[in-house]
Amino acid sequence: MKKAVIAALGLAAGAGAHAQTNVTLYGIVDAAFVGESGGSAGHMTKLTSGAASASRIGFRGTEELGDGMSAFFTLETGVKIDTGEEDAAGTIFNRQAFVGLGTKAGAVALGRQYTPYHTTLTAVADPFGTGYAGTSKNLFPDNGTNVRASNAVTYASPKVNGAHVELFYSAGEQSVLSAGRQFGGAVDYASGPLRVRLAYNNKNTDVAATGTHHDLGRNTLLGANYDVKWVKLYAAYGIDKGAGSATLGNANNPYGGVKPTPSTDGRDLLLGFSAPVGPGTLMFSTQHKDDRTHFNQDATSWGIGYLYALTKRTGLYAAYAHIDNKNGAGYTVANNTEPGTGNTGYNLGIRHTF
């Protein structure tokens, strides 16, 4: 696998040089001490890779083709800083792998890509950017295929008066046409200090090979932020309906007893802010899960964090979060790369970007 990664990266770099493609090497190196408590496993302390931002290395490139047209690509792999392993065994570019064409009428890309739903959370709605102990992943269904999907075709329109549209389709590539299929989109508007984004995600969790059939999982998410310089305000409201629409981050029954049931009809609310304080940034959010099934497994969480900037690229961070679960709900304090094992957690880490 290591030889395959090196060969693939070498080919990408070499092809860029011969074709006069503008290739950029980028990445994030992130590691933290993580503490978790409140679950049946008791108090746990560990070294984790990517608590704030998943550690990664990537290549992105563009080539101007003339007449307003350009080709572009991204190849991005995840790494575990604590062990040096790939973040997903048996893969090379599990995080992103796509190629596309951009024109005056918009951009089309093919490959493994982020969903518009996830982009709404990480870029617009969550002051933690879906990282740290305060991540929106604690209660919002931002895991699995809600984050990224393979076999995807995407379209992003040009911006007109601050607005643009994104479309997303992922083929299930099974014998039954609709099995494993996923589609969605987003409308994004930015003007001055305001940014608002409405996203939709629809996924079919049927498995054609086993004859297993489920209802469609549907997620609608409205996210917004407003920057008044001394503080940036965040808000999000989500509607989750159907099987697989709100799977639990930790599905291994972390609290023991009767196993929690994933909600098939819920509402998610987030309010938060980020603010420049001293040499760094203070982040805070509170979230609520309203489970409207007969289980009524609601949950409320809050999180706080601080990123201390040593330079523009390197920072130290600390974060803490707590969840109150109701009626046997099984939500756990996560971070960017782990689902967590209890209802309380903290991170103390360092992040460097390049």
pLDDT digits (tens, 9 = 90+) for 35-70: 999 999 999 999 999 999 999 999 999 999 999 999
> In angstroms, what is the C-alpha Rg of the chain?
20
What would the pLDDT profile of 268-292 be if each residue is shown by its tens digit? 999 999 999 999 999 999 999 999 9
Mean pLDDT over each residue of the chain, to the nearest integer: 92
Neighbours of 315 (CB within 10 A): 21
Tokens of 286: 């509170």
Nearest-10 Cα torsion for 66, 67, 71, 72: 110
Partnered with residue 32 across adjacent β-strands are 48, 349
- Residues 191 and 197: beta-carbon distance below 8 Å: no
| Residue 2: per-residue pLDDT | 47
| Residue 180: per-residue pLDDT | 80
Cα angle 100-106-109, degrees, rounded to a multiple of 5? 20
The helix or strand, by DSSP H or E, that contains position 12, with its residue range, turns out to be: helix 2-18
What would the pLDDT profile of 71-90 be if each residue is shown by its tens digit? 999 999 999 999 999 988 88
Neighbours of 101 (CB within 10 A): 14
Helix (H, G, I), strand (E, B) or coil at 122: helix
pLDDT at 340 over 60: yes
**Locus of tokens 């603010």:** 275
- Residues 36 and 249: beta-carbon distance below 8 Å: no
| Residue 176: per-residue pLDDT | 62
| Residue 118: per-residue pLDDT | 98
> Can you tell me the distance from the alpha carbon of 333 to that of 310, in angstroms, rounded to the nearest whole number?
27
DSSP string, 183-239: EEEEEEEEETTEEEEEEEEEEE--BTTTTB--PEEEEEEEEEEEE-SS-EEEEEEEE
| Residue 15: per-residue pLDDT | 45
Q: Is 323 exposed, middle or buried (0-12, 13-18, 19+ CB in 10 A)?
A: buried
Fill in the amino acid letter for 265.
D
Q: What are the phi and psi torsion angles at 124 (to 5°)?
A: -125, -45
> Can you tell me the distance from the alpha carbon of 224 to that of 159, in angstroms, rounded to the nearest whole number?
18
| Residue 112: per-residue pLDDT | 97
Tokens of 310: 């040593």
pLDDT at 264 over 50: yes
| Residue 168: per-residue pLDDT | 98
DSSP string, 42-59: --EEEEEE-SSS--EEEE
pLDDT at 13 over 50: no
| Residue 89: per-residue pLDDT | 86
Per-residue pLDDT, averaged over 231-255, amounts to: 96
- Residues 180 and 207: beta-carbon distance below 8 Å: yes
What would the pLDDT profile of 148-189 be if each residue is shown by its tens digit? 999 999 999 999 999 999 999 999 777 666 778 999 999 999
Percent of the chain with pLDDT over 70: 91
Rounded to two decimals, the pTM is: 0.90
Neighbours of 42 (CB within 10 A): 10
The band of 14, judged by pLDDT with boundaries at 50, 70 and 90, is very low
Cα angle 168-173-176, degrees, rounded to a multiple of 5? 110
What would the pLDDT profile of 205-226 be if each residue is shown by its tens digit? 766 555 556 678 999 999 999 9
> Can you tell me the distance from the alpha carbon of 189 to that of 181, in angstroms, rounded to the nearest whole number?
28
Question: Taking the mean position of all CA atoms in its chain, how far away is CA 235?
Answer: 17
> Can you tell me the distance from the alpha carbon of 158 to that of 276, in angstroms, rounded to the nearest whole number?
32
Nearest to 234 by CA among 328, 140, 334, 161: 140
| Residue 269: per-residue pLDDT | 98
